A and B are shown apart, each in its own frame.
Chain A
Amino acid sequence: MPVKLWRKPLDADKIPKLQYEVHIINERCDGCGFCIDFCPKDVLARAEKMNEKGFYPPQVINEANCTFCGFCRSVCPTCAIFPIEKISRNIKEVE
C-alpha cells in the first residue's frame, strides 16, 4: 500500500495564508439560509437569536476557514452578508 501522508508539510508555515472576515447585517437577513447551505467551507451556521424581522440570520462559526469565495454574497437575496480580506498580517501573529 502506498505511504499515507501524515505530516504537516514542512513549508506549511511559509505559505501566506490569507485571512478573511465575514460580515453579516443581521437586521437585513430574511433567514433563507442559502449562505449557510452553499458555503463550501462550513463557515456559517444558523444563529440562536432571531433578528427584528423574526428570522434566524446566519452566524459565523469558523471564520478561519473562509476562503473568500464570495459565494455567500452572491446567493444572498437581501445583500445581508459579505466577506472582506483582513489587512495582511504576520503569520506568527495570527497563530
Chain B
Amino acid sequence: MESSNSKSESSEEIRIGVNVCHCGLNIGGSVNCDEVAEYAASLPHVAISRALRYSCSDQGQELIKKDILDYKLNRIVVASCTPRLHEPTFRRACEEAGLNKYLFEMANIREHCSWIHLHDREAGTEKAKDLVKMAVAKAALLEPQEEREVPILRKALVIGGGVAGIQAALDLADTGYRVYLIEKEPSIGGRMAQIDKTYPTMDCSICILAPKMSDAGRHPNIELLTASEIVEVKGYIGNFRVKVLKKSRYVTKDCSACGDCSTACPVTVPNEFDVGLATRHAIYTPFPQAVPSTYIINKENCLNTNFIVCDKCIVACERNAIDFTIIPETIELEVGTIIVATGADVFDPTVLPNYGYGKFLNVITSLEFERLINAGGPSGGKLLRPSDMTIPDTIAFIQCVGSRSEKGTDSCSNVCCMNTIKDALLIKEHWPEVKIYVFYIDIRAFGKGFEDLFRRAKEEGVIFIRGLPAEILEDRKTNNLWLIGENTLSREIYKINVGMVTLSIGLEPREDSNIIQRLFTLSRAPDGYFMEAHPKLRPVDTPTGGVFLAGCAESAKDIKDSVTQASAAASRANILMAQGKVTIEAITPTPIIDNCKFCELCTKVCPYNAILVDRENKITEVIEAACAGCGNCGAECPSDALIMRHFTDEQIIAQIDAITEQDANMKIVAFCCNWCSYAAADFAGVSRMQQPTNIRIIRTMCSARVSEKFIARAFARGAAAVLVAGCHLNDCHYIDANYQTKKRVERFWRRMERRGVRKERLQLLWASAAEGERFASKVREMAETVKNVSSEEIQKTVKAFKKR
C-alpha cells in the first residue's frame, strides 16, 4: 500500500497503453496533448502512449484495439472527456480486443481541465499530466472483474395517469407486457381532461383523450390503481418491489355510475376538478368521462364518520354498491421497469398581491378559464365572468404569471403563450365582439403550426401589447378591472379597463416531487423538475437504472411532446424488458474473512442491508443483488476486511499519492461522488466556468466511500487542502449513505482541531448535478485558502498525520 506501483496480484507484467485525446480543439485548444502523451510514456508500466485526434471515433477505437494486440497491453488509459460520457464506449472497445473492461481507466482532461482552464495552456497541460498520472497509477492496480447478470421482470409500473402515463401504459401493454398504472386522483386523465380545446389544432381535448382513457381502463394487460400512492420502493433495475397504498373508494365494482347516490348526498363542496368553480357531493365522480367510472366517497367530506350518522347514499343505491367497510389496502407489486409520469402543478397566483387573485372575483387563472369555456364546465361553456355571470366586453390575458420569475419558476412554461392564443381564438369564434388584449414579454410560438395560429389571432383582431401590467385595480362599482403597466415598445404607461382578466399561470414541479425523488433516488434540476440522465442523448432515462421519465414530470411541455416522450420512455423500458436481463456492475465489496473482526459496523451503515455478518459461524457475506456499490461499508470497516472492487483502498491511495508526488502544497485533493458532485464538476466544465488549476478530482461512486484514512493520507503527503463532495443530504443516490460522509468529515474536523490543523483546509460540499456554479465557486474559494497555507503549516500537518 506504500507506493503507486509496488504491488500487483497477477504475476503477469503490467503493460499500460495511454491515449491522450485532442477532442478536436476541445482539449487540444488549451492543453498540449502531445506533451502530455510524451510525459505519459515516461510513467511506470506504460508500454505505449500516443495522442489521438478523436479517440472515441471508429478509427480511434480501432487503434486502441490494435495497440492492445500489437503491444500486448493489459491495461488501457484514455485521457479525454468525462467517464460519464464515454467510459462505456471505451470499455466496449477493450472487450472487443479481449481485454476485461475493468482494466480500463479514464482521465477526464476535458470537463475537468481544458474547458475550465481555457486561457492558461501551460497550467492546463501540467494539470492534464497529473490527471493522466493518477489514471495510470490506478490502472496499474486494476483487476479484471466478472459481472453478474440479473433477470428483468417483464412487468412495468407507470406512475401518473395523465396523458403521458396513459400513452406509456398503452404502448407497453400493446407490446404485451403487464402494466400497473398508478394514479393518485379518483380518475385518470390528468391535466388534459381539464382543458377544453387543444392547440394548435383546436381539437376538443376530452374527445380525443376519453377513448384513450377507456382503452387504458379496459386493456387486459393494464391494471388500473386509482386513488393510490406509492409508499415504498425497494430493489433495483429489473427487480423493483413497490408498495402501493390503495385508498378506499367505499364503492364497489358494482357501481353503474347512475349518480343516484350523489343526488341524495346532502354534502356539497367545491369540485377540485373544476378548480372550485362548480360543486360536487361527498360521493361523486370528478367528471362524466372519468375512468374508472365508479363513484367515490371522499371521507373528509362525508358525514358518515362512524358508520351510523348518514346512510342516504346507501339507501339511494339500488345496486348496493356502497360499502363503508372497505378499508385501504397496501399492495406489493414486483416490476422490472418504472415510468414516472407525475405531471406538473400550476402556479398559485395568490402570492402576487398586485394582481389581486383571490380578492377580485373577475381575475381568473387560465386553468379556471378552461373550465369556464368548457361545455361540460360550470357555466355550460358560456364565457361568463364570475362577479355577475355576464359576458365581459373586454378580456385581458397576462402572460408569464409565475413563470420566468423568481416568484414562481425560473423557466418558461412552454404552454401558456400558445394556450392564450388558443383561448383568444376560441373567444373570437363564439363572441367576435369581445375585445381581447394580450399582455406579454415574448410570444413563444416555436412549434409546428404555432406561428400560423399566432398570425390568425392577430388577424382576428386580438391586441397584443408588450409589457406586463404592474398592477390590477378593481373598480368596486362595476367589478371591472384596471390594468396599469408600461407599453415597453412605445414607452408609454397604459391604463386599460377590462371586464375580466385571465392570468396565464405557469406550470411548476409537483409539490410532492421530493417524495417521488426520494423513493426512486432521482435528481432534480434547479427549477425542480426531474433530471434526465443526459439532456440530449438519454432524455427519458434517469440516473437510476430502469426508471424513465415522461411528460411534464421532466419539464413543462405540451400534450404532443408529452405523448412523444411517453412513447419514447415506453420504448426504452421495452428494450430492457425484451432483453430480459441486465448486467450489474462489478463494484460490490468482497469480504476478507481473515481480516474480519465481526464487529458488524458495516451492517450498520449499509443503506441496503446487503451485508450479513454471522458472528458465531464467522461468516461475512455480501448479497450482491441488493448491494448498490456505494462503498459505505468499505469506508467504515476498521479492519480492511472489505475490498471495494474497482474502488479499492490501494487504487484510491495510489491516486492520492500520484497527486501529491509533486507540488503537493499547491494542490487540492478532491473526492467527488459519481452522481451529483462529479457531475456538477462536469457541468461547470460544460458551461466553461473558469477555475483555478489546483484541484484534482478522484471519482468514487458515493461520497460515503471516502474513508478518513484517505483524507489523512492526503494531508500526510503534504496536500494543501482536501475537498469531499457529494449529493445534497436526502438526495443521496444510495438512500442516506452521505449522512455517513457528513459524520466522517465532522469527525475528521475534530481530529484536525485536536492536532492544531486549520479546519478550513478540509471542506465538505453538497452539490447537485446542476450546481456547476456552486462547485466552481467552492474551487475558487479553496484556491484562496491554498494561497494562505505556508510551508511550515504543511510541514506541521504532514507530521500530525504521518502514520505512527
Contact = CB atoms under 8 A, between A and B. Distances in A.
Direct contact of A and B (CB under 8 A): yes
A43 B358 CA distance: 30
B140 to A, nearest CB: 55
Contacts of B800: none
Contacts, number: 74
A34 to B, nearest CB: 12
A7 B276 CA distance: 7
A50 B188 CA distance: 57
A87 interface: no
A3 B348 contact: yes
Interface stretch (B226-234, B266-274, B643-651): B266-274
Given A2-B346, A2-B348, A4-B350, A67 B511 contact: no
B348 A15 contact: no
Interface string A35-79: 000101100000000000000000000000001110100100000
Interface stretch (B164-172, B205-213, B305-313, B486-494): B305-313
Most interface-central of A3, A7, A17 (chain B CB within 10 A): A3
Interface string A16-33: 011000000000000000
Give the interface SS of chain B, mostly helix, strand, loop or mixed: loop
B308 A3 contact: no
Given A1-B511, A4-B348, A10-B379, A40 B386 contact: no
Contact of A40 (B278, B279, B303): B303
B310 A67 contact: yes
B386 A67 contact: no
A9 B348 contact: no
A29 B716 CA distance: 88
Interface string B240-274: 00000000000000000000000000111011101
Contacts of A15: 268, 279
A12 interface: yes
Most interface-central of A4, A10, A12 (chain B CB within 10 A): A10
A10 B275 contact: no
A68 B275 contact: no
B365 interface: yes
A1 B347 CA distance: 6
Contacts of A12: 268, 279
A68 B279 CA distance: 20
Give the interface SS of chain A, mostly helix, strand, loop or mixed: loop
A11 B279 contact: yes
A68 B276 contact: no
Contact of B345 (A2, A17, A38, A68): A2
Nearest to A14: B279
A42 B378 CA distance: 31
Contacts of A11: 278-279, 378
Nearest to B274: A9
Interface string B299-331: 000010100111000000000000000000000
Contacts of B23: none
Interface size class of B (residues with CB under 8 A): 35 or more
A75 to B, nearest CB: 9
Given A3-B348, A4-B348, A67-B267, A9 B276 contact: yes
A74 B309 CA distance: 9
A45 to B, nearest CB: 18
Contacts of A3: 275, 346-349, 365, 367, 505
Given A4-B348, A67-B266, A9 B278 contact: yes
A94 interface: no
A10 B266 contact: no
B361 interface: yes
Contact of B378 (A10, A18, A69): A10
B277 interface: yes
B470 interface: no
Contact of B277 (A9, A17, A18): A9
A3 B361 CA distance: 15
B272 A68 contact: no
Contact of B270 (A1, A9, A38): A9
Contact of A5 (B267, B272, B309, B379): B272
A40 B346 contact: no
Contacts of B349: 3
B310 A69 contact: yes
A84 to B, nearest CB: 15
A74 B276 contact: no
A9 B309 contact: no
Contact of A7 (B309, B361, B384, B389): B361
Interface string B566-590: 0000000000000000000000000
B278 A18 contact: no
Contact of B308 (A4, A9, A67, A71): A71
Given A2-B511, A69-B309, A71-B308, A9 B346 contact: no
Given A3-B365, A68-B266, A9 B378 contact: yes
Interface in B337-354: 345-350
A5 B275 contact: yes
Contacts of A4: 348, 350, 358
Given A3-B275, A10-B389, A18 B270 contact: no
A69 B303 contact: yes
Contacts of B309: 38, 40, 69, 71
Contacts of B276: 5-7, 9
B370 to A, nearest CB: 12
Contacts of B278: 9-11
A20 to B, nearest CB: 9
Contacts of B386: 7, 10
A5 B389 CA distance: 19
B512 to A, nearest CB: 10
Most interface-central of A2, A41, A74 (chain B CB within 10 A): A2
Contacts of A7: 270, 276-277, 361, 386
Contacts of A40: 303, 305, 309-310
Interface of A: 1-7, 9-12, 15, 17-18, 38, 40-41, 67-69, 71, 74
15 contacts: A1-B345, A4-B348, A5-B270, A7-B277, A7-B386, A9-B277, A10-B379, A15-B268, A38-B309, A40-B303, A67-B266, A67-B303, A69-B266, A69-B303, A69-B309
Interface of B: 266-268, 270-272, 274-279, 303, 305, 308-310, 345-350, 358, 361, 365, 367, 378-379, 384, 386, 389, 505, 508, 511
Given A1-B348, A7-B276, A9-B277, 15 more contacts: A3-B367, A3-B505, A5-B276, A6-B358, A7-B361, A9-B278, A9-B279, A9-B378, A10-B378, A10-B384, A10-B389, A40-B303, A40-B310, A69-B310, A74-B308
List 9 tightest A-B contacts by C-beta distance, closest first. A5-B276, A67-B266, A9-B279, A10-B378, A69-B310, A71-B309, A69-B309, A5-B270, A2-B345
